């Protein structure tokens, strides 16, 4: 379990800024993200380096905001939404994590052409 702190609440999850990130047993790179104050709320997030190795958004500026000197130092997670027709991932708004400090941010990548709902291929 990791404790994460966001400077700003995630869209739709105000007022929460403190979260726990837990690995899902048996699924490498799959995590559960829950507000510390509302553990009944849960998002699934995927480690982009495991599931989307070609995903390379421009994230240098938001990485600096969470205390990282380089985008390569961030753990990049994408929100996954399971559904009847498969799972989609939000590539327009990755969650960036400074694993040393727990500081985190959701970057909004307007103008980079990344989709809000990309199909996750098996």
What is the separation of C-alpha 80 from the centre of its chain, rounded to a whole number of angstroms? Answer: 9
DSSP character at residue 66: T
Q: pTM of the full predicted structure?
A: 0.94
Location of structure tokens 């829950």: 34
Number of helices (H), then strands (E), belonging to the chain: the values are: 2, 9
Please tell me the predicted confidence (pLDDT) of residue 6.
Answer: 97
CB atoms within 10 A of CB 104: 26
Share the mean pLDDT of the chain.
Answer: 94
Taking the C-alpha atoms of residue 83 and residue 22, their distance in angstroms, rounded to an integer, is: 21
pLDDT by residue (tens digit) across 33-67? Answer: 999 999 999 999 999 999 999 999 999 999 999 99
- Give the pLDDT band of residue 83 (cuts 50, 70, 90): confident
Beta bridge partners of 95: 77, 106
pLDDT by residue (tens digit) across 88-98? Answer: 999 999 999 99
Phi and psi at residue 71, to the nearest 5°: -65, -30
- Name the token pair of 94: 């990755």
- Give the pLDDT band of residue 121 (cuts 50, 70, 90): confident
Cα torsion 53, 91, 119, 20: sign: positive
- Name the token pair of 52: 């989307």
Please tell me the predicted confidence (pLDDT) of residue 36.
Answer: 96
pLDDT by residue (tens digit) across 6-27? Answer: 999 999 999 999 999 999 999 9
Is residue 122 predicted with pLDDT exceeding 70? no
């Amino acid at each position: 379990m990791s404790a994460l702190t966001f400077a700003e609440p995630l869209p739709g999850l105000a007022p929460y800024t403190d979260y726990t990130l837990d690995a899902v047993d048996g699924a490498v790179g799959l995590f559960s993200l829950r507000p510390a104050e509302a553990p009944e709320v849960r998002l699934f997030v995927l480690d982009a380096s495991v599931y989307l190795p070609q995903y390379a958004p421009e994230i240098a500026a938001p990485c600096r905001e969470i205390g990282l000197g380089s985008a390569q130092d961030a753990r990049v997670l994408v929100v996954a939404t399971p559904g009847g027709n498969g799972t989609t991932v939000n590539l327009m708004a990755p969650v960036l994590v400074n694993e040393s400090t727990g500081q985190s941010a959701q970057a909004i990548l307007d103008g980079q052409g990344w989709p809000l709902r990309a199909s996750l291929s098996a």
